[in-house]
Structure 1
């Protein structure tokens, strides 16, 4: 059978929200181009939806409320899962793989915990499992890590992978408004969900960090392995202070290969708001945009930037995976399999070397600075800069440290809260993107 006479590739789409609707639109609108790229027509066999009565921009004959039956149909070659959640998609994807269907999904929450299980099913069935759209929307990150850098050694992956939090922090920085005010505005503009917890408390970014770390370091990393902190405690005063240090504040997902003095390798995977120097490429990523910086042994620093969310951008990544899976069906190939040969352990957050920014309200009297500095010195934490703002009852001391084990820094902050001369520790943030 020649490339041009190959039978159509049947596709089942599960879910027709913003992304699902865009995927269906592009499949129908660009059918001829996609056929030319794949070598066979791509035909939608069915679209699983929760409400059959809702008006849809597609033929009603394609709609079904029985996704379990749809994924088993013999005329379906590829299943595109865009439902979201964990339990239902996990069951449906497993069934699809067991029935010999390749799967494309954007479900980062599911993949953060069950990539290993699903990748094993895909390997056993000799089919593809693609998930480029699970991290950073339209930005190609997964495939470069799995394929373009397959011959290199990735040392670090760090980025802004949540558009909601980046919009909030960017707006706070630009307008000087507090968190609650900007969060409400983000909700009105559609950048924040009615319940923004998954975004603002870092759960979404942690799931993506787990996926990136698993691929970059050839080890299975789950969301539970990722140290996570959110942005809800960030204030306008924090951003103003960051500006005096020529920094801004971003919610970062950081995946890093750590090598100790004995040559033992471990993985650090963490999400938290951090000060970023204005000279760093991530500092200029504003609004709902995402960016990921990859540092590899031979390739050096690579940056991927673009739309990190939204129906059409995410659909673009889904269609990229779908075309790859369809080509493999036509030509008999397969995409890259899961690689976990390294099996590197996860380093506790306390073992990671970081820098701290500590802002505290202090009593304005002689000897306070020496007392505060003594607590840092007692734990071998070197101070980089100290600045006092205000006077009398409004005296504020800001300390920026050099690198030290995070556990030592955390213990120092705990000790500062016990000092009589420290009235309160108002903010504790890490500093990333510097050489020291």
Structure 2
């Protein structure tokens, strides 16, 4: 591991912007074969329902069942898992769930309305989705934290029914995932995975109800399927590789920073970890910590490839320049490991989540801080937000004209509609205009 080389950049170098652009580039194009396979699966499930789901589940997950109903996990089984996991795990899940629920309850939006002087009523009606689908990775890549982060905002929003799908390859069930579903209040759970699970949620089958929105992470087949069914249902986002950007003034323990970089790099080889500092000697110290600590990591090979291929150390003139570069990158996770993080945060416009201060490890946000860990990646924080209660609520405009209001604004609408050549629009508005008032003017 000692031959690991992390890209070094200086904001002062002439080709900095083009070099940074190349470093940030991530090809999210879908392999043609994957695309064709996913489209075939979606079409078959849409056409044949349960029968297709059973066939694909047996083929891909090596799980044979007589009916899709046999693949549903009962509420009793979920609570059995909750009661059966080690007490420390249960307490950790419950503590995390409590914090996530408390945070998201503050996002809950309410309906509102107001009245014009002439009695016209305008407003907004906020209602939850009827049904949401939650995809949870299964098998070895099992994430109970994802269950909490996706299901709890939906329940806080008032979603009528949360349907969870989780693959169980060869029948391997993760007890913590089931326990998390019990804690989060998931209504129904099916041991389905892959594109066939997404299709079942999007189109509905004889057994799996169709949902209004699908959320949750998955592999390339799941991500491709979500992209394909968008429009039939809503989706949360198409997520790219995990990212962390750390801005440090050079005064944090370099071992801490090295491990924070590792925390994202260990996800997969495409994950991106970037450190920005005005202190060149500190960048050297962190690199030394990386070389020292890397051999102690279970996923050392993945971390090494991630850091070598997509990691970077960037030297800047000051923290203000660091903030400007951060806004250019728009990272998923941004750590401000500086003396005055709040002041620096004022300069940040684009980031999925901002972790403020030396003691705020990004990993806390992944599990139990409270805010959602489903965050925009690949620069999409420029226009996207973390998953939240608002993703499970819809807004309908309320418009109620009084006679006086219809008269007043009907005249405005008439002029605009005729200007657009839409006569029926104009006449519809004009029918409500008070002609007697018009004649008296």
- Could you say which TM-score interval applies, normalised by the shorter chain? under 0.3
Greater length-normalized contact order (CA 8 Å, ≥ 6 residues apart):
2
- Determine which structure has more spread, i.e. the larger CA radius of gyration: 2
TM-score normalised to structure 2 length: 0.24
Higher strand fraction: Structure 1 or Structure 2? 1
TM-score after normalising by structure 1: 0.24
